[in-house]
Structure 1
């Protein structure tokens, strides 16, 4: 039988929240109660794993260099303070994500980082976050908050990202600008679409929503979208991820088009690989260094029971101009 917080609480006759505080060596537990819980742990044979020194990072897209880089940078911020990061790849809002949290909560996890996980979904299952709330385990979120929880949120400003991408293409002379974004109900995807439509309308381009294509955040998703935007007569496209942008380029080539002569492409994320593809990708770079640093320092503060600002903190992205954007052919 696996011994966890629930079993310890029942054996000691205290709440699960009290057991969690004892496991994580937090304040607010009387010595007599703490002794009872410690004795119950010994009697049940519960082994604490690096009490309070583990930080879980929940993310879906480990294969995406941006998320891998961000996780690595978060770990680099935590490691000098004796904290160990556990990377938990899980489908957002799925059973595996909830099981990761439940298992790690039982083992005395110190904090959790939701790295574009279920915090990006509309109407995500609240059970995962309730486990953390009831056990007093702090968490922070990247690229989307959690309704009903005042956890700190750190995000790239998606509205500004869309604005600077559209502005770049508009200045080159493009007017038939399309956008390929992620599925509806995904917070960052929806915000990027909103920013795109606003940027287009601000420049007097009507019916901007008609130029939006929704697809998966993958190379294949971008490739599938390429046929639609080509048939629509787009001369340029803003992609919601670098992987999507690379798929669009591949799809355009298979339709006999060249980039950027026939189609200009702007990506989003700004991972190092975009500098070495052919042609090098123009992209909107997310500030992974500043994001990771702020996430790491906030986790440290929360684990030290210090107050931190709540709500969403937005970080400015930057446009990196390379070789996939140019004026439209023949001024089209």
Structure 2
């Protein structure tokens, strides 16, 4: 039997008009009444129609072309299904992210994509996800999951990213390789650090030959981390992002050295613009085309009340070799 608003209204003990306002996420309904209606919908298995509504893509750092590229690809993949992607720039875990989600939940949104937002932070406040779950609004994570919620997560295989970078530099002859990583508590950064140390240990490198410096995912962060790593005598830098790699370039040049003559640099993300820096950046490219398509597939299935695989799905990255890496000078 198909469940309609009449059955939901009877179960919740409210009018059909009230149920309609809750379904369409309109104002004028108390929190207690809204909760009763949502509970009745869940108990009866009511299927809410969401076609043609908005999917919010919450992401930081739109100044970074990587996030812009991924957001655009997600939007393009959603469009054929009648869903409209809207980008909401917000710092991970900040009050702006919560305000976006609260406003979207109140006024109507089909789903939410957390693109390297608070879902990448260990111990992030679960309030944002709790709001969505209470309203039965589906959400998906990219490069990080949700504590306490079994939502789909699509991620680049970070340990493999580290392995690809280390293998390339080791094959060139580098034996003192440093990692300019993202901050502690950031899931992708933590996993890349673990992958980097595993890759270096597997090749017989001592801890002193594989230093790690944690900094922000910015040009300035990459510059600061690289300055510290150069003091430790490294001949190659693995950067946690392409922007950090640009900071590494700056730090190397300010020491009177050159890339790759004195220091090789490998980035991470795969922004197209990095092909045009001098020298063009060797980088580990995240498979953003496949990631974006899978994000869209998951959102479309969820808003249509279809089951989707839960847990984390890992995508393999790709090493793109350009001009920023070469054998160490001593070789």
TM-score by length of 2: 0.87
In the alignment, the residues of structure 1 paired with residue 124 and residue 52 of structure 2 have an alpha-carbon distance, to the nearest angstrom, of: 27
Q: Which residue of 2 aligns with 1:225?
A: 225
Per-residue deviation, residues 119-163 of structure 1 (Å, max 9, x unmatched): 000110110010011110000000011111110000000000000
**Superposition RMSD in Å:** 2.3
Distance (whole Å) between structure 2 residues aligned to residue 113 and residue 254 of structure 1: 40
Structure 2 distance, partners of 1:286, 1:20, is 40
Q: How does 1:73-152 map to 2 (within 5 A)?
A: 73-152=73-152
Residue 153 of structure 1 corresponds to 153
In structure 2, stretches of 5+ residues that fail to align are 1-20
State how 1:210-289 maps to structure 2 within 5 Å: 211-289=211-289
Cα-to-partner distance string for 1:51-101 (whole Å, 9 max, x where unaligned): 861100111121111110000000001111221111111111111101100
* Count of residue correspondences: 306
Q: What is the 5 A alignment of 1:306-321?
A: 306-321=306-321
Name the counterpart of 2:173.
Answer: 173
CA deviation after TM superposition for structure 1 residue 7, in Å: 5.2
Retained in 1: the 8 A contact 2:98–2:128?
yes
Q: Is 2:40 the counterpart of 1:15? A: no
Give how far 1:6 is off: 8.7
Runs of 4+ residues deviating >4 angstroms: 3-7, 19-22
Q: 2:176, 2:209 within 8 Å by CA — same for their partners in 1?
A: no
Residues 20 and 243 of structure 1: CA distance in aligned 2, closer, same or farther (over 3 Å): farther
5+ residue gaps, structure 1, are 35-49
1:28, distance to aligned residue in structure 2 (A)? 3.8
- 3-state DSSP class of the match of 2:30? helix
Q: Which residue pairs with 1:42 in the alignment?
A: none
- CA offsets per residue over residues 14-72 of structure 1, 9 Å max, x none? 333736999xxxx8459xxx9xxxxxxxxxxxxxxx98611001111211111100000
CA deviation profile, 1:149-184 (whole Å, cap 9, x unmatched) = 110000000000000100000000000000000110
2:328 is equivalent to residue 328 of structure 1: yes
Output the CA distance in 2 between the equivalents of 1:63 and 1:119: 20
Judged with a 3 Å threshold, the aligned counterparts in structure 2 of structure 1 residues 209 and 17 are, in CA distance, closer, same or farther, namely farther
How does 1:283-302 map onto structure 2 within 5 Å? 283-302=283-302
- Tell me the distance in 2 between the aligned counterparts of 1:14 and 1:6: 13
Q: Answer yes or no: is the 8 Å Cα contact 2:52–2:84 preserved in 1.
A: no
SS of the residue aligned with 1:170? helix
**Structure-2 separation of matches of 1:18 and 1:105:** 15
Q: Answer whether contact 1:197 1:208 (CA < 8 A) is retained.
A: no
